[in-house]
Amino acid sequence: MGTLYPGLMRLEQRGLVRSEWSVTEISRKARFYTITAAGRRQLAAGKAEWDRMTLIMHTLLQDQS
Amino acid sequence: MGMASLREWLRRFCETVRPHRDDSDLEQELRLHSELAAEEALRTGRAPEQARRVALIHMGGIAQAMEALRDQRGLPWLDELLQDLRFALRMLRKHVAFATVAIFTLALGIGATTAIFTLVEQVMLRPLPVVEPDRLWRVGDRVGCCYATGYGQNEWRFFPWEAYKLFRTNTPAFEELAAFQVGSALLGVRPQGSGGAVMTANGEFVSANFFKTFGVAASRGRLFIDEDDQKGAPPVAVISFHTWQEKCGEASSVVGRVYQINGHPVTIVGVGPRGFFGAKVADSGMPDFWLPLTMEPLIIGATSRLEDPRTAWLDLIGRVRHDANPRTLEAQLQAELHAWLASHQADMTAEERAGWQKQTVHLAPGGAGVSLMRMTYADGLRLLLWASFCVLLIACANVANLLLARGLKRRDQIALRAALGASHARLVRMALVESLMLAVSGAAAGIVVAYAGTSVILRVAFGQPNTWVPVSAAPSTLVLLVALGMAMVTGVVFGMAPAWMTSQVDPIETLRGVNRSAGGRRHWAQKTLVIAQAAASLILLSAAAMLGRSLHNLEHQDFGFDLSGRYLVKINTMLSGHNREQLVPVFTEIEDRLRAVPGVRRATAALYAPMSGFSWRHDIRVVGKPERGPKDDVSSAWTRVMPGFFETLGNRIVTGRPITDEDNTTARPVAVVNEAFAKRFFGKENAIGQHFGPASRRKAGVYEIVGVASNVRYFADFGRPVGPLYFVSEAQTAVFDEPSLQAREVGSHFPYSIVIWAPGHPPDLEEQITKTLADFEIPMYDVQSYAEVIHADYGQQNLLASLTWLFGALALVLAAVGLYGVTGYGVEQRTGEIGVRVALGANRGQVVMMVLRGALWPVGIGLAIGIPAAIAVGQLMTSQLFDVKPSDPRVLFVATLLLVMAALVAALIPAHRATTVDPMVALRHE
């Protein structure tokens, strides 16, 4: 919790997620976090970066064996 | 750092100032989360108690999470800083008395320093208010008065008109080269057609491109154009903005109006730029009117210097081209000077002819103009700046002491904070923020103090009517910045040590409720501050005492005549319209009329009288003596007097006779010399009957010496013995071949002084004199007793001594307050101990002695450090001192006595309070 919420807040401050108070389907008050367009772009970029990284690592490790 | 993180930073910055989500909102979210986690645990089939525990462990505690969230929400350091600021403000508001004392103390310290720095900035640092002052270069690098004659200046600083024109045409590296007269021309001004009184004003003859060189434009009308500076051009003048404002009430109708200047109609064509005061920075004679150079013969008449190549009377400042190299330019000017000198070999004296190739000229930065003020006031200002620093230092020590004492009182509060987890760094920062806040408030108040102080200084120094100096009390941006910087530095200096020491609290010890530990280190810090204050005050006081003593010596030195009953009348005969032939009869009549005033014994006019501020000087030759060597000083002052002058002044004739009525046009020119003259030029020989004169060898013997008068001091130059001086007769005019000598011979016939011997001190003296002189249409400036004249002559020394005394007094009061605070605090801390002592049989005297001993030994150490330091400072000040030795025991005694008295008073009050301690109360308190 001490890591999760500051992380969410950082994402929000960077404009990657948006949050608001709302009510769940079982009528409980909760704070809803939604990914924004910028967030989606950032996610895609991050994912691409990750894929590239794993590919590199994979290739490297295969060469070794 | 990408856009996203920049955005994050901005959001956090904004949230620090104004949070988007408040704490309760965040907390609610966390609470909901933890509830959900607990429910989740329940659903998975755990006991409710256990489920809650799991949820809590899982979440790691709401309080810690909140802390992490808060840190992420804003910028923690900024947030804490704002907290500290708010806290500091609250503390200051809560302790108004403490804050007031601290801010007031700092305001005095910073105010004193800022006031002096305001003057330093304007006199020493500020460039002229003109376009690109760094492209201005001055030809010649020394400042002086008022002109030079001959071809042997060695290092050239003034130039004749002819040389200027040559430089101007032949030096393309100068975009413009302007010439303006050294010193100023006294003008008598009156509006054309009005019968009003003649107003005196200062004129300055300048080349037509003067304003263009500085890149300034007229605020009304126009400035000079080349056609104005041609012989035979219609006479025109430009009035300075300041004079226009003061004397004409900013009336636009002034432009185009015709004024009678020295009797000649002159059209005012324009008003100078706002804020522009010319290229000279001087404490007197700042120009009211600028006139083209070629008008000089018309306005000045017989003593004109324009056409004389032997008279150098112009300062030159040029604007150099962007690509010009000053060093090449200097070499070129030197070559031009030599070429010009070469063309004048024919009219050089033998000695000049031998040395003309060795003449040099230097180029100096001219952006600050020709600052006579810098030369006159540099030493004094430097001294005052140091003195004000001393005051600032003492003020800082006081505030540091206050903070230390208060830190002790706040110890338990701080211990609590430390116990609750505040870091050392945070505690130090908190204290620093508070002291910086004090310092900045002190600086704000100090700037007000400085403005008031500078205004008073300027009024006292230059407040005489008709004197205007280009210095104002308003602080410039630089001054404000320096004041703020000073506040920052002092805030850290006086805040750092107390802040650090307060943070060194051991929470356990303090929280145990023991508020008794004396804190040895703190004790030492306080005593050290007292020692420093005592030493600094002593240095300031002894500097003040030395300057005061020096001033006293100056004013009470032997002037060679009896001041009492003697008066000096300052006049300007040049502006009266009388011609030279009328002067002897006119002044004979004036003297007769003044002598008829009851109480007046004698009255005599002279070119100038002792200590009147004038000085005429010649290099002379004596018939039958070998030519002077290049290093020999053969200069002598001279003045021109009416018969009866020596009796009026009470100047004893040692041998021979004084100047009498017989020394008139029909007789050979004679001179009376003073003893210094006789000694310098004749040694043990008899001076009577010898011949000498200012001319070259062929006419050297123009004056015959008929008498020797005892030495009288004529000039306020300090410390120097009375120099050679000779007197010639008002009724005689010698004939010289050199036009410059002839011009001075003629000009010197117009007296500027009347000395009056009125032992009866008639009450209506001034009225009688004013009336008499008005009847002869001679403008009069003022009548002063000789004591007043002397006082005014040493006005600068007086101001310096007074300000140093003021700073000394300030330092003393601050140091005494500091000592009082420390001692009082000590007594308060030792109430219990004193109670025990009294209970065990100590009497009042022993208690007083104990407190005094504790208070006075740091003062004693301060004295031990301060006395040698004061002597050392005195050594550095010797150029400011007249007849005072830095180790003068009287001076040191006065300073020590003042300090000890102040310390005694400051320590006796708390000592007395200690004796009122009731042992029962004190012990019960334990």
Q: How many CB atoms lie within 10 A of CB B25?
A: 12
pTM of the model: 0.79
Contacts of B616 (CB under 8 A, 6+ apart): B607, B608, B637, B638, B639, B744, B748
The DSSP annotation for B257-324 comes to -EEEETTEEEEEEEEPPTT---SEE-SS---SEEEEGGGHHHHHGGG--TT-TTEE-EEEEEEEPTT-
Mutate to test the interface with B, among A4, A9, A35 (most CBs of B within 10 A): A9
Residue type, B711: N
Among residues B159, B132, B290, the alpha carbon closest in space to that of B213 is found at B132
What angle do the packed helices B424-462 and B411-419 form, to 10 degrees?
140
* SS3 of chain B: helix, strand, coil, percent, to 5: 55, 15, 30
Coil/strand/helix, residue B654: strand
Neighbouring-strand partners of residue B371: B281
Coil/strand/helix, residue B61: coil
Give dist(CA B397, CA B636) in Å, integer.
Answer: 54
Given a cut of 90, whether residue A52 has pLDDT beyond it is yes
Q: Give kind and range of the element (H or E) at residue B178.
A: strand B174-181
Give dist(CA B368, CA B374) in Å, integer.
Answer: 10
Strands (E), B182-231: 185-191, 199-206, 220-221
For residues B280 and B369, the answer to whether their CB atoms sit within 8 Å is yes
For residues B598 and B642, the answer to whether their CB atoms sit within 8 Å is no
Burial pattern B306-324, b for ≥16 Cβ within 10 A else e, equals bebbbbbbbbbbbbbeeeb
Give dist(CA B47, CA B38) in Å, integer.
Answer: 10
Quote the pLDDT of residue B465: 66
Give the Å distances, CA to CA, from B781 to B571, B582, B765, B778: 6, 21, 15, 10
Q: Which residue in B has a C-alpha nearest to residue A33's C-alpha?
A: B29
Among residues B329, B322, B354, the alpha carbon closest in space to that of B341 is found at B354
Contacts of B555 (CB under 8 A, 6+ apart): B790, B791, B794
For residues B202 and B289, the answer to whether their CB atoms sit within 8 Å is yes
Contacts of B861 (CB under 8 A, 6+ apart): B531, B534
Chain A closest CA to B81's CA: distance in Å?
A: 22
The DSSP annotation for B309-340 comes to TTEE-EEEEEEEPTT--HHHHHHHHHHHHHHH
Chain B hits for A31, CB-CB cut-off 8 Å, are 29, 32
Residue A29 to residue B64, Cβ atoms within 8 A? no
Give dist(CA B159, CA B140) in Å, integer.
Answer: 9
Q: How many CB atoms lie within 10 A of CB B562?
A: 13
Residue B4 to residue A9, Cβ atoms within 8 A? no
Dihedral class, residue B807 (left if φ above 0, else alpha if ψ from -120 to 50, else beta): alpha
For residues B208 and B225, the answer to whether their CB atoms sit within 8 Å is yes
Give dist(CA B525, CA B504) in Å, integer.
Answer: 14
Contacts of B666 (CB under 8 A, 6+ apart): none
Chain B hits for A3, CB-CB cut-off 8 Å, are 68
Quote the pLDDT of residue B602: 93
Chain A closest CA to B70's CA: distance in Å?
A: 8
Residue A3 to residue B64, Cβ atoms within 8 A? no
Contacts of B79 (CB under 8 A, 6+ apart): B16, B70
Q: Which residue in A has a C-alpha nearest to residue B73's C-alpha?
A: A9
Strands B703-709 and B670-674: parallel
Tokens read off for B895: 């300073």
Q: How many CB atoms lie within 10 A of CB B417?
A: 18
Quote the pLDDT of residue B36: 78
Q: Which of residues 45-84 of B touch A (CB under 8 A)?
A: 58-62, 64-65, 68-69, 71-73
Give dist(CA B783, CA B770) in Å, integer.
Answer: 9
Give the Å distances, CA to CA, from B326 to B169, B184, B334, B340: 18, 29, 12, 21
Quote the pLDDT of residue B2: 63
Quote the pLDDT of residue B480: 93
Residue A14 to residue B8, Cβ atoms within 8 A? yes
- What ipTM is given for this predicted complex? 0.80
Give dist(CA B34, CA B82) in Å, integer.
Answer: 32
Neighbouring-strand partners of residue B398: none
Chain A hits for B33, CB-CB cut-off 8 Å, are 1, 5
Length of chain A: 65
Q: How many CB atoms lie within 10 A of CB B757?
A: 23
Give dist(CA B354, CA B97) in Å, integer.
Answer: 77
Maximum CA extent, chain A: 56
Residue type, B274: R
Q: Return the HEC string of B712-776.
A: CCCCCCCCCCCCCEEEEECCCCCCCCCHHHHHHHHHCCCCCEEEEECCCCCCCHHHHHHHHHHHC
Chain A hits for B8, CB-CB cut-off 8 Å, are 10, 13-14
Q: Which of residues 22-61 of A touch B (CB under 8 A)?
A: 28-31, 38, 42
CA angle B58, B60, B66 (to 5 degrees): 130
Residues of chain B with pLDDT under 70: 1-4, 55-60, 194-197, 465-466, 505, 507, 509-522, 628-631, 697, 925-926
Q: Which of residues 558-617 of B touch A (CB under 8 A)?
A: none
Sign of CA dihedral B834, B837, B843, B848: negative
Rg of chain B's alpha carbons, rounded to an integer? 38
For residues B422 and B502, the answer to whether their CB atoms sit within 8 Å is no
Give dist(CA B416, CA B539) in Å, integer.
Answer: 43
Mutate to test the interface with B, among A3, A4, A5 (most CBs of B within 10 A): A5
Give dist(CA B618, CA B621) in Å, integer.
Answer: 10
Chain B closest CA to A4's CA: distance in Å?
A: 9
What are the backbone dihedrals phi and psi of residue B465, each rounded to the nearest 5 degrees, phi first? -60, 150
Given a cut of 50, whether residue A40 has pLDDT beyond it is yes
Residue for token digits 């600032």?
A: B392
For residues A16 and B5, the answer to whether their CB atoms sit within 8 Å is no
Contacts of B863 (CB under 8 A, 6+ apart): B534, B535, B538, B896, B899, B900
Give dist(CA B202, CA B299) in Å, integer.
Answer: 12
